[in-house]
Amino acid sequence: MTNKEIKIAYLEYQSIDELEAKDKELAQAAVEATELAYAPYSKFNVGAAVLFEDGVIIKGSNQENAAYPSGLCAERTALFYASASRPDKAMTAIAIAASQDGQLCETPATPCGACRQVMAQYQLKSGLPMMVLLVGAHKIWKFEKIDDLLPLIFDSI
Ligand code: THU
């Protein structure tokens, strides 16, 4: 028997202003996208912004439904829209933000398992690391690749 360990490294910033210009733009796009959420049930507005290798940013927000499971998270709304509209372009980063009562949440919202799996798929498709920015009001976490949020990614098929 061998003991194994997986370490996850990420950066923490105190403010969006600490980010380098390109990351700041993506983080701001995610914050803007929270205003486009349709979340009448949870009132938890999530925004996501996907960056392509050519600099284009596509936004998405959570879309809820009276039949709850029919709704979709912001991340997958953005990722599917991004892939459906620009299938031949590589996605290189995603930023995520959440707000309640018009206020950006203090602690960054962390993506659900299903969204992490979908991010993993597009990272695999592009062959490039997909950077993740989780944006809170006074705490921003930066992960270099999806593997840091989803270790031991399933990609065997
Ligand atoms: N939600 C997201 O959009 N992204 C996540 O990563 C977690 C949760 C949404 C789904 C639902 O509309 C609301 O937040 C409350 O769960």
Q: Please tell me the distance from the alpha carbon of residue 23 to that of residue 17, in angstroms, as a whole number.
A: 10
pTM (two decimals): 0.97
Catalytic residue among 5, 18, 20, 75: 75
- Closest residue to atom 9 of ligand 1, CA basis: 73
Q: What is the mean pLDDT of the chain?
A: 97
Q: What is the pLDDT along the chain (157 residues), one digit of tens a residue?
A: 999 999 999 999 999 999 999 999 999 999 999 999 999 999 999 999 999 999 999 999 999 999 999 999 999 999 999 999 999 999 999 999 999 999 999 999 999 999 999 999 999 999 999 999 999 999 999 999 999 999 999 887 7
- Closest residue to atom 10 of ligand 1, CA basis: 73
CA 58 to centroid of ligand 1, rounded, Å: 18
* Active-site residue, 75 included: yes
| For helices 113-126 and 74-85, angle between their N-to-C axes, nearest 10 degrees | 30
